[in-house]
Amino acid sequence: MKPRTTLSLAVIAGGLFAYIWFVERHSETTRQETESSAKVLKLEQSKINSIAVQNAETKIEIQKKDGIWRIEQPLSDRADTSGISQILGSLESLRHDSKISIPSAQEKEKLAEFGVAESNVRIKVKSDEGKETELLIGKDSAVDGKVYARVQGSSDVYVIPNTIRSMITKTPDDFRDKKLSDATPQQIQKFAVKTADGEIEAERKGSHWEILKPLKARGADQKINDMLASVLNSVVAQFLPENPSPEQGLGEPRGTLTMTVEGMKEPMTLKIGNVPEGDENKHKFFTKLSNRPAVTVLQNSALDPFLKLRPNDIRDKKLVRLESDVIDRITIEPKDKPALVLVRKGESWVQKDGEQEIKINDSLPGKILASVQSTETTNFVSDVATELPKYGLDQPLLKLRLSSFASENTSESKAGERPVATIHFGSVEGDSGYAKLDDEPFIVASPKTLLESIPVHRAQIQPLNVWEVKADSTIALEVTNESGTLKLEKKDNVWKLAAGEGTLNEEKVTALVGVLAGIHTSKWFAPGEVSKEALDKPATTIRITLKEGEKSDTLTLTVGQALGSEGFYSQVSSKEGTFLLSIADQMTVSQKLLQ
């Protein structure tokens, strides 16, 4: 392409770009100007701090103080913030469909004709800077759904949607906050419920609730917060005059809920009175909240739980309140058996026996903690620990102590073990067992499955890899099963029959040696936990001869009866206890090795 042609194209492209930029910029400016000119009012919602509404019913004054909207006239109460925001947002974005400019000579006559000379439906807003803007709503226009309106001080008349008129032609009660209270459950520090059945009191301590009356116990955090939220967020069905009447039953209420609220000088009390006449199904109650002026009518769905509240309803049903991450040591003390001490070591766990550290099933401590953390009591048996023998807790079947451990002294604690929780497990009845925490007087019932999941013998905490046998170190096998006894030996890395006649299936022998080298189990049983019959007549016995260098050893695997579809009871000569051999591994070790 010639240089002159290139230059011409560049000039054309530049001109085209400049034209588009100019046209688009001018078009955007024109569009913005058009939209701005269509706006009826010039105000910013965030800067408005006062609203005065005049309608046929009354005059309503609303002020914003410390960020909260309140009705000041003709009553004093908290205003509906979302409703106020909706009104102000509609005013800020209000646009007219058409604008009628009235000549000064016809101003009085025309404004009266449109109903905007001195309207009885108007709204005045005042900004932080003291600027006042008032919109007067007039008659309906000829277009359905539209009304005439005028800004005070102007002779221009606008045709606008009748939305604003609908928003402000309401009673003072319509502007009140329908939510009973603006407090949140997290702000409630203490509450007390009084009914004919007695008094219940609870207090928030840190992030948890504690019951103070009629007993001292852990509170159910989520349930208490949900109950408080249900009351605080109750929607008022009706506002009534401030002074209660006798038939409302608020002089001698059937129940009171007193709440200490963070940031409030005085407690907030909700009185629950009678059922309104005509509400035979008792779906509602007369109520009075101490920091709101009106008597209110509320649905009983939020109030009924408090009127029928019993201490056990809000007790923490968790067996123990526990943060598992802080637990560094688990001490298991079975009755008449040596204690097991499991210690966190870095990211894993070991068994501590004196100064010796022994490998264990590393996933087991986490499972114990998870089970303890998630277990809920099935019943609160007794609130006093005066009958320990009755529940087998004078000599518990097992004690479980969960502790944190500090290796060095700090400003807050000394080095060493610090118990977090100790659980005593008593006798078992049916599907439940009795339990008690060291630092609580209560006796509770918990699922016996928790007690059964806690190991009581060192055999039960052994690693799940049954033994460490190298396939290359295996030099001889003696396999006994229903077919008889077969002896094999490895010479020059080739498996052969050590005695007798037949042809070995090399593939099956290789598979057998591989399985024997890597046996894993899903579960260990303590000695005596499995009946003798399960292994008295083994289906398969394998003697394995190992040699590494000059050192040789002989191990024995015994496979007994099946435990349903879970596997086969099995033992090895080098370990205590009984383990489950998987069905797949059992099929390999019991197969015929001769072709």
Decide if 244 is inside a domain: yes
The residue-averaged pLDDT of 169-187 equals 95
Decide if 594 is inside a domain: no
Question: Coil, strand or helix: which one is 57?
Answer: coil
For residue range 197-206, list pLDDT tens digits in order: 999 999 999 9
Decide if 10 is inside a domain: no
Helix, strand, coil abundance in the chain, percent, nearest 5:
25, 40, 35
Based on the fold, state whether residues 146 and 213 are members of the same structural domain: no
Based on the fold, state whether residues 166 and 235 are members of the same structural domain: no
Based on the fold, state whether residues 97 and 170 are members of the same structural domain: yes
The whole-model pTM stands at 0.79
Least confident of 104-108, 183-187, 339-343: 104-108
Angle among Cα 16, 19, 23 to the nearest 5 degrees reads 140
User: What's the CA gap between 208 and 316, in Å, rounded?
Assistant: 10
User: What's the CA gap between 15 and 3, in Å, rounded?
Assistant: 18
CB contact at 8 A, 447 and 458: no
The residue-averaged pLDDT of 62-66 equals 94
362 exposure class (CB count in 10 Å sphere: 0-12, 13-18, 19+): middle
List the CATH number of the domain containing 294.
3.30.1490
Based on the fold, state whether residues 427 and 346 are members of the same structural domain: yes
Domain that holds residue 396: 324-461
Q: Specify the DSSP class assigned to residue 182.
A: S
Based on the fold, state whether residues 394 and 417 are members of the same structural domain: yes
How large is the C-alpha radius of gyration of the chain? 41
Decide if 56 is inside a domain: yes
List the CATH number of the domain containing 527.
2.60.40
User: What's the CA gap between 154 and 138, in Å, rounded?
Assistant: 14
Decide if 136 is inside a domain: yes
Based on the fold, state whether residues 333 and 453 are members of the same structural domain: yes
Among 175, 208, 243, which residue terminates a domain? 175
Based on the fold, state whether residues 345 and 425 are members of the same structural domain: yes
CB contact at 8 A, 432 and 378: yes
With cut-offs at 50, 70 and 90, classify the pLDDT of residue 550: confident
Based on the fold, state whether residues 219 and 134 are members of the same structural domain: no
Bigger pLDDT: 36 vs 515: 515
Based on the fold, state whether residues 431 and 498 are members of the same structural domain: no
129's tokens? 């800077």
Decide if 26 is inside a domain: no
For residue range 257-290, list pLDDT tens digits in order: 999 999 999 999 999 999 998 766 568 999 999 9
Based on the fold, state whether residues 328 and 453 are members of the same structural domain: yes
Write down the pLDDT at residue 309: 96
What's the structural domain count of the chain? Answer: 4
Decide if 200 is inside a domain: yes
Q: Which residues contact 2 (CB under 8 A, 6 or more apart)?
A: none
CB contact at 8 A, 578 and 530: yes
Query: Is residue 485's pLDDT more than 90?
Result: yes
The gap between the terminal CA atoms of the chain, to the nearest Å, is: 85
Write down the pLDDT at residue 114: 95
Based on the fold, state whether residues 564 and 478 are members of the same structural domain: yes
Write down the pLDDT at residue 277: 85
Q: Specify the DSSP class assigned to residue 499.
A: S
For residue range 355-396, list pLDDT tens digits in order: 999 999 999 999 999 999 999 999 999 999 889 999 999 999
Decide if 15 is inside a domain: no
For residue range 424-482, list pLDDT tens digits in order: 999 999 999 999 999 999 999 999 999 999 999 999 999 999 998 889 999 999 999 98
Write down the pLDDT at residue 242: 87
Among 150, 175, 200, which residue terminates a domain? 175
Query: Is residue 27's pLDDT more than 60?
Result: no
With cut-offs at 50, 70 and 90, classify the pLDDT of residue 417: confident
Based on the fold, state whether residues 355 and 454 are members of the same structural domain: yes
- Residue among 544, 548, 549 at smallest CA distance from 558: 544
Q: Which residues contact 515 (CB under 8 A, 6 or more apart)?
A: 585, 588, 589
User: What's the CA gap between 577 and 195, in Å, rounded?
Assistant: 59
**Which amino acid is it at 594?**
L
Query: Is residue 32's pLDDT more than 60?
Result: no
182-208 CB burial, b ≥16 within 10 A, e <16:
ebebebbebbbbbbeeeebbbbbeeee
Handedness of CA 128, 129, 130, 136 (dihedral sign): negative
Among 156, 175, 194, which residue terminates a domain? 175
